[in-house]
Amino acid sequence: MTTIVVVCKDGQVAIAADTQTTFSDEHKLLAGYDVFHDKIFRIGDSYLAIAGSAAHDLVLKSALKGLKSRDLGSRAGLFETFRKIHPKLKDHFFLRPEEDEEDPYESSQMMVLVANANGIFGVFPMREVYQFARYWAIGSGRKFAMGAMQVLYDSPLSAAQIAERAVQAACEFDASSSLPLTLYSISNDKDKHS
């Protein structure tokens, strides 16, 4: 339960997230109590953030760092990278890949947003990979963030400002998201996605 957003606009790519960890409907850990409250982490030239179990944070960081080769800068590269780590998630980190009996593939049990100079991407539980042209959000505050980004995208605000306001909107209304937020932005010199 979280709010994570990515925005690509006018040569800038931004990723932002709230800082609350929610353990159940009854327990939350706010940033002031959590030394490691930043949900966004960097691997090479990419920023990533995960929605799903809090356990995914250290697991995904370790699995990605353990790969001899990884490509986080394209749709195909992300697919291959997450395909390679799926067996590691099961064999080394004891992932339980079962979700719905009728699912066509095993689940990685996480949603990941990626931001880098090549654009903004989403990796979903069955390793579906999307490259987004403008913005996207995941987590329990997703609907509030998406609405805010829809309204703000064509305004004069930058990608970072839109991402910041989207997370703020989600934190205002979603019980599982809280401020402060963290935000990272990078230049998208190729400007392919604005």
Distance CA(150)–CA(136), nearest Å, equals 10
Q: 129 with 82: CB under 8 angstroms?
A: yes
| pLDDT at res. 130 | 97
Helix (H) or strand (E) holding 112: strand 110-116
Distance CA(107)–CA(10), nearest Å, equals 35
Distance CA(76)–CA(130), nearest Å, equals 10
Q: 138 with 4: CB under 8 angstroms?
A: yes
pTM of the model: 0.92
Distance CA(176)–CA(179), nearest Å, equals 11
Q: What is the SS3 assignment for 81?
A: helix
Query: Cα 50 to the chain's mean position, in Å?
Result: 5
Distance CA(41)–CA(134), nearest Å, equals 21
User: In tens digits, what is the pLDDT along the chain, a chain of 194 residues?
Assistant: 899 999 999 999 999 999 999 876 778 989 999 898 999 999 999 999 999 888 888 999 999 988 889 999 999 999 999 999 998 888 888 878 887 778 888 788 899 999 999 999 999 998 999 999 999 999 999 999 999 999 999 999 999 999 999 999 999 999 999 999 999 999 986 544 33
Distance CA(155)–CA(132), nearest Å, equals 19
Based on C-alpha coordinates, what's the Rg of the chain? Answer: 16
Burial 10-34 (b: 16+ CB within 10 A, else e): ebbbbbbbbbbbbeeeeebeebeee
